[in-house]
Amino acid sequence: MLAPPSGGANFGGGFIAERSFRQADRIRVNDRIRAREVRVVDEDGGQLGVMVPFEAIKLARERGLDLVEISPTADPPVCKITDYGKYLYQTNKKAHEQRKHQKGSQLKEVKFRPATAEHDYQVRKNQIIKFLGEGHKVKAMIFHRGREMAHQEVGRAKMNRLLQEIADHALVEIGPRMEANIMMALLAPKRGGGASSKPSGAPAGGQA
């Protein structure tokens, strides 16, 4: 069994200055959160609305807890009011369990274009959900060609839409980010997500 992270044995919250960030430098917490606005959820997952980080941090500290950024790629980023030490311990424990089951998984690639039609978009999205449900990681890629490179916001909008629509099935491990002419995101199965879920229904017509 994993031991709690250094400084995290006391789950009372509010002692971030005394805790080590060695295990999760990429996780932003309290004053490290840089977004102008964040969507806030409480310890039980209840929605507290969109607010500026200062207000959210104040609310967390009133409860003796911390404000932890749990979904930095969302718009706006999602932050949770929780104890940071406990959150790190649970995150590390989940990562440990995931590594135990990665031997049978594969890396799948699903490709899009900025102008991928709605029907093809839905087919590829359901492919991703299927792969995740089978325990595979997925690299979602949007290829840009020629003039499309001058309008990368179109590809980014499509990627953001995709990540929002598969959020119940996927954990975003890397990205979204540009690599040469490709916008990519590396996705991992979300525990309790896609394995028992059905793909989306029939798509509507039109362009994505």
Query: Is 50 exceeded by the pLDDT of residue 3?
Result: no
Would you state the pLDDT for residue 29?
Answer: 92
Per the CB < 8 A criterion, the answer to whether 179 and 141 are in contact is no
Residues 29-33, mean pLDDT to the nearest whole number? 91
Query: Is 80 exceeded by the pLDDT of residue 33?
Result: yes
Q: How many CB atoms lie within 10 A of CB 135?
A: 16
Residues 20-34, mean pLDDT to the nearest whole number? 72
Residues 171-186 pLDDT 10s: 999 888 888 899 999 9
CATH level 3 topology of 16-98: Ubiquitin-like (UB roll) (3.10.20)
pTM of the model: 0.44
Where are any strands of DSSP class E within 55-200? 66-71, 78-82, 107-112, 137-143, 170-179, 182-189
Which homologous superfamily does the CATH classification assign to the domain defined by 107-196? Translation initiation factor 3 (IF-3), C-terminal domain (3.30.110.10)
Residues 89-123 pLDDT 10s: 888 888 777 776 655 667 899 999 999 999 999 99
Name residue, tokens 């590829």: 124
Would you state the pLDDT for residue 101?
Answer: 62
Listed by start position, the domains of the chain span 16-98, 107-196
Query: Is 50 exceeded by the pLDDT of residue 144?
Result: yes
pLDDT cut 90: percent of the chain above it: 50
Query: Is 80 exceeded by the pLDDT of residue 202?
Result: no
